Structure 1
Amino acid sequence: MITIGPVKSVVDENLHKVVQAIATCNCPSVAEAVMAEPSLKKEVLIRVARVLDDECSNMCKTTPPLSLFRRFLLFERELFSYSNCITELQTKCPTLYQLLWTVVTRSDKRNTVKCTSQHYPGMCMAVALVLKERNQHMTGLQTFLSLVLFNSNVQKKVLTRLNHMNVTISYTAVMKLITGISEQHKAPIEKWVNEGIIFEFVGDNVDKTVGVRDIRTDHRSTLVHMYSLLAVRARVDPPPPIFDFIPPDLTKIAVSYFLPNQADIDALRSNLQVIVSRVLADYIEVFKPQKRRVVAHIQHAHSKEMKEKSGVVVLDVLHKCETKTTDMIDIMREMISYLGDSANTCLSVGDLLTKERQDGSKRHVICSNTPSGRLDHLEPCIADWHCLLNFLMLVWKHLFKTSPRDHGTLRHLLHKIGRLPDANKPKKNLHACLDGLLTAFYGHLVEAARLELGIKSVDDFPLDSTGAKVKVKLSDVASAIVDKWTIVPEAILGQPLNDSSDGVNNYAHVLCHFAALVSEFYDGWHEGDGLRMLRCWKILMLHFFANRNTKYALESLKLQFQLASLPPDLVHQLTWGRFVNTRGGEGNNIPCDLYNEHINHLFKEIMGSNFKEQSSTRAARCVTTLSSIAETFDKLTGIHPESTSHTTSSNRDDVLSIATVVQSCDILKIKSDRSHANFPSFSASPLTSLNRQRLETWILEKTRQYTCNQHSDEQDNGDDGTGSNASESDESEL
């Protein structure tokens, strides 16, 4: 019989702890004991690596549905988000997700901090980098980032270097994507045509200077002329077209129909009362409790539709010069080609030059035997933003002098608040001039309200004879100020005006009149109110005519002719199709031609300095898609949308400073025989140079010409397509 004695234990202490933890069924203790033993820890890490390998293999599968990390779908770009990528990561690679979450958070906050959107981009990009190293087809996020960088005009070398770090795809792959995007540029508008959706064309010239390094006699910088073309979907459905519509005879319509009337003045006053109320509620202490009752957005018949985001398609950039009749005819025929078999007439919106050239081109081909040959499917119409620019130039010509010595003049007030030299010329800096004029206007309104209330400063309250505070209704004060210190209705309606001998006070009246019209025009386009804009055009026509701005006076009149003679569906489009809303929401509309300027700016950024016809066409066709991708990236990563939202600094101090100047000079009080040195004899009428009889004669003559051009077989005025005289100025007639 063999007796076995006690055997000395050779079990490692760490393994003993593992056994004890297993015996007590304490999972955390088991895990801690296993990781404390090097040999077991090594085996655990090997098995964790196998799990990660299986998870990554599952992520890289080519069977549907494909991983978001594998393919970025352009047609679903608006649905892309980093949160969806994180959700996929949690579902398919929970171990990898937990590993990343451990890396990005500190141990003391890991149990209390939740994974939020600020963590998503970095975590997703880290996964994208390692997956692309594993499988070169896992380029979903790299494609997304590459398109964003290309939209920012990043150089080829940058993309190449980042591609070698797996951050982006190759430059060649990017260009293939861009080419594919540009080849699909017609798809949205073809869908609109097939579905019978109403839209309009918006076009403008794009000039690009192509420089050279070595200047020679036969090798110099050249100015390339192009034409950018957009399509904007109608947000307000027009009435059905009338194919047998017979236009009225404009020569039988009274001249007064094309001029402002009392109803226009009443509507303008009503809107100005709201605008003035906003100003008083912001700057007068007694009215601040009533601010919540002030109308923020003036409503109209289609306010609901104008809150919707506009559908816009950038169609192409044509290498044509709009100042040449033959090129403009080609441009208009290109527009008609997008209409397909549709027999509807489409609006073509543009600035003054574009409108003139298109009218001249239609006259040039009026003898053609087919409607498409005569360009009948297009109706040119003028846009609003360039009109505001030209009206501000008119205001500066009327009110702005170089010397600031005359206290209370526009030049002095802008100098007082430090807006010069930025606000010297509207053509160089429209925003600075517009903001300066409105600030001066608000200062006059604040001083007018102070006089109306009988208070010493904007922080005081009106008191009665006993010293008690008097309740004042904001709407009553605003109405009184509108009647006294905004528009001059007598000048607009051609009625007698009592002119005082106080040139300083008269100057203030005219300044407020111009600023009130600008305020109405500016607020009207933000609200997308077509009727307000057309009413303003009718009033501005008088100012353009009186100041010999003949081309804009004529186009203002032609706009009235179109409203009186076109079919109801086109009149409806002409009224409500003048705006683009790029973001959606109230008060976010802008004129079509201003949006076209924004697109041209983006186009030049993408095109860069190296200009070629093929690259410029490709850049134009993909500009909206790339800008949409960049906006999505900015939104997902929390970058402030610089191009769509601008922070406006408070101008309270500037307004009150101007109000102080107006008060100290007693500008709003009539004092006889006062005048500015630079404006020795200034009338209170902003239309003092308007001859009503000549205006009516001019309207009658233009009515006959317009009617004749619409029905005659005469061709254009002899332009052979090589020059820029598609339309003649009417300077001699005035």
Structure 2
Amino acid sequence: MYPMKSMKQDLEFFFTHRTVPNILEDLSLSNTATCTATETTATTSTATSKDVDALDIFTFSGLSNEDLADLGVAPLSPTAYPTSPTPPTYSIIFDNLDFYMQTHHQSISHTNKSIHWINHMCVIDRVNSLQMNEHKPANTLSSYDIGQSLPGPDTQDSLRIEYIVLGSRILTHYLEAFKTLSSVVVHHIPHKFSEEMARPSTDYPLGLLLKDETQTADLVDVLQHFQREYVPRCPNGLHKILVGGDRLTEGNCRNAQLMFAEGVSEEERLEGLVFKFEDWHAIRNLFEIYHHIFFKEASAKDHSTLLANMNLLRSVTLR
């Protein structure tokens, strides 16, 4: 073995006085010697570093960046492996599809039919929920201070700014004197996800389910279908998805989910589904309330009601 004064000198001597066949032969011997030394260490535990072939010292993987710089060798940059895009998150929206099928010639076996099906679709979330923090709260409910939920000075300032924006919209929309300022009014309060929420919704129809959501057995089949087909399975468990419908559908789904609370697994308990009601149903309910208040027949004598205006304009055909 050659005398070793420094790592740099040994490497220069090795690569200067060895040919490629000799290097390959020495590397082969080095691998054999390493395997033999490993087996001997496992049985006797008496092997020392001098028993290992000297070529093990000259592996570049064991050199630091400073050693490589002394040798004039540039360190290799880590390989940037391609990364797959983050999968989108989505919600499942479904509602009942009811229609009445009349027959031209009725018989005992051929009568009118009342059809009740379910139409469902997938709506992609504009903001991916996978980037949201899923950690548990820092404090328990018993140690929580209700004062932390009360609006402080910062919250009051934010509310004041938002009320100013809302008030400016109302003034420029309903008062003729302020309509000239409608072009400078803030019509959208900016927030963190303003750009994402300005994009149109992306939805995919998933077809019809020949089930009646008013029947408990059919609704259970539908929820089990959602759990089995649409809930993602992750290494750390199920990734929950939102399932939306009207308020009656939401209540029925929650009751059906409670019936399976004693299930063995998460899938049997339908824990991958989180139910919610859709906003357009709330707006429709609000319109029904307005219609019920202002379209009362007893309100014909009350000014500014719908029936009073109809009587004033003699527009009785609007009914």
Q: Which amino acid aligns with 2:168?
A: V
Match for 1:413 among 309, 315, 319?
A: 309
CA shift for structure 1 position 328? 1.3
Call closer, same or farther: CA 1:219–1:243 in 2, change over 3 Å: farther
How far did residue 367 of structure 1 move? 0.9
Q: Which residue of 2 aligns with 1:376?
A: 271
Match for residue 349 of structure 1?
244
Partner of 2:254: 359
Q: Which residue matches 2:173?
A: 279
Q: 1:195 to 1:304 in 2, by over 3 A?
A: closer
Q: 1:211 aligns with which of 93, 102, 123?
A: 102
User: Does the CA contact (< 8 Å) of 2:173 and 2:179 recur in 1?
Assistant: no
Contact 2:117 2:209 in 1 (8 A): yes
Whether the 8 Å contact between 1:207 and 1:226 is mirrored in structure 2 is: yes
Is the contact made by 1:277 and 1:294 (CA closer than 8 Å) also made in structure 2?
Answer: no
Alignment of 1:397 onto 2:289: no
Find the aligned partners of 2:272 and 2:139 in 1 and give their Cα distance. 16
Amino acid at match of 2:281: H
1:178-232 deviation per Cα after TM superposition (whole angstroms, max 9, x unaligned): xxxxxxxxxxxxxxxx952111111101112222221124421111111111111
Corresponding residue for residue 310 of structure 1 = 201
Find 1:227's aligned residue among 110, 118, 124.
118
Alignment partners' CA distance in 1, 2:93 and 2:139: 25
Residue 197 (1) aligns with residue 88 (2) = yes
- Equivalents in 1 of 2:300, 2:180: separation in Å? 38
Q: Describe the superposition over 1:31-53 as per-residue Cα deviations: whole angstroms up to 9, x where unpaired.
A: xxxxxxxxxxxxxxxxxxxxxxx
- Aligned letter for 2:203? V
Judging changes above 3 Å, is the alpha-carbon distance between structure 1 residues 296 and 268 closer, same or farther for their aligned structure 2 residues?
closer
Superposed CA offset, 1:672-698 (max 9, x none) = xxxxxxxxxxxxxxxxxxxxxxxxxxx
What is the CA distance between 1:390 and its match in structure 2? 1.5
- Structure 1 position 397, deviation (Å): 3.2
Instruction: Select which of 314, 325, 339 maps to 2:231.
Output: 339
- 1:324 pairs with one of 215, 222, 225: 215
Change (3 A) 1:353 1:397: same
CA 408–312 in structure 1, closer or farther in 2 if over 3 Å, else same: closer
Contact persistence 2:232–2:240 (CA under 8 A): no
Q: Is the 8 A contact 2:92 2:120 kept in 1?
A: yes
Residue type of the partner of 1:306?
M
Asked if the contact 1:368/1:374 (under 8 Å) is kept, the reply is: yes
Query: 2:54: which partner in 1?
Result: none
1:299 aligns with 190
CA displacement at 1:268 relative to structure 2: 7.2
Q: Which residue of structure 2 aligns with residue 242 of structure 1?
A: 134
Q: Provide the secondary structure at the position in 2 that maps to 1:386.
A: helix
Cα distance in 2 for partners of 1:240, 1:265 equals 25
Quickly say closer, same or farther: Cα 1:214–1:249, change in 2 above 3 A. Answer: farther
Larger RCO, structures 1/2 (Cα 8 Å, 6+ apart): 1
**Aligned counterparts of 1:248 and 1:213: Cα–Cα separation in 2:** 66
1:341–1:292 distance in 2 versus 1, CA, 3 Å: closer
Amino acid at match of 2:304: G
Q: CA RMSD for the aligned pairs?
A: 3.4
| 1:583-606 per-position Cα deviation (integer Å, ceiling 9, x unaligned) | xxxxxxxxxxxxxxxxxxxxxxxx
Change (3 A) 1:195 1:335: farther
Matched with 1:483 is none
What letter matches 2:254 in structure 1? D
8 Å CA contact 1:325–1:360 kept in 2: the answer is: no
Per-residue CA deviation, residues 633-689 of structure 1 (Å, 9 max, x unaligned), is: xxxxxxxxxxxxxxxxxxxxxxxxxxxxxxxxxxxxxxxxxxxxxxxxxxxxxxxxx
Structure 2 portions without partners, runs of 5+: 1-84, 150-154
Aligned length: 221
SS at match of 2:300: coil
- The code of the aligned residue for 1:301 comes to K
Pairing 1:607-622 to 2, within 5 Å after superposition? none
Residues 372, 253 of structure 1: CA spacing in aligned structure 2 closer, same or farther, 3 A cutoff? farther
Does the Cα contact within 8 Å between 1:347 and 1:381 map onto a contact in 2? yes
Read off the aligned partner of 2:218 and give its amino acid letter. Answer: D
- TM normalised by structure 1 equals 0.27
Cα distance in 2 between the residues matched to 1:419 and 1:265? 43
Per the alignment, do residues 207 and 244 of structure 1 end up closer, same or farther by CA in structure 2, a change over 3 Å counting?
same
Residues of 2 paired with 1:358 and 1:206: CA distance? 17
- Going from structure 1 to structure 2, the CA distance change for 1:289 and 1:319 (only over 3 Å counts) comes to closer
Partner of 2:5: none
**Deviation per CA, 1:472-499, whole angstroms, max 9, x where unpaired?**
xxxxxxxxxxxxxxxxxxxxxxxxxxxx
Q: Deviations over 1:431-486 (max 9, x none)?
A: xxxxxxxxxxxxxxxxxxxxxxxxxxxxxxxxxxxxxxxxxxxxxxxxxxxxxxxx
Aligned residues with identical type, % of pairs: 22
**TM-score, scaled to structure 2:** 0.59
CA distance in 2, matches of 1:331, 1:383: 18
Instruction: Please state which structure has a larger fraction of its residues in strand.
Output: 2
Task: Write the distance in 2 (CA, Å) between the matches of 1:367 and 1:247.
Answer: 29
Letter in 1 for 2:251: E
Shift in alpha-carbon separation, 1:414–1:268, aligned structure 2, 3 A: farther
Q: Which amino acid aligns with 1:361?
A: A
Residue 297 of structure 1 and its aligned partner are, at CA, apart by 3.4
Cα 1:219–1:370, aligned 2, differ >3 Å: closer, same or farther? Answer: same
- After superposition, residues 538-553 of structure 1 pair within 5 angstroms as none
Deviations 1:519-564 (A, max 9, x none): xxxxxxxxxxxxxxxxxxxxxxxxxxxxxxxxxxxxxxxxxxxxxx
Measure, in 2, the Cα distance between the counterparts of 1:204 and 1:389: 15
Kindly indicate whether the alpha-carbon contact (under 8 Å) linking 2:162 and 2:189 is maintained by their aligned counterparts in 1: no
Q: Which residue of 2 aligns with 1:385?
A: 280
Q: Deviations over 1:228-272 (max 9, x none)?
A: 11111111123345276799659x897xx8xxxx96985774453
Question: Superposed, which structure 2 residues align to 1:53-132 within 5 Å?
Answer: none
Decide which structure has greater helix share: 1
CA distance in 2, matches of 1:277, 1:420: 33
- Secondary structure in 2 aligned to 1:404? helix
Contact preservation (8 Å) 2:123, 2:202: yes
Instruction: State the match for 1:579 in structure 2.
Output: none
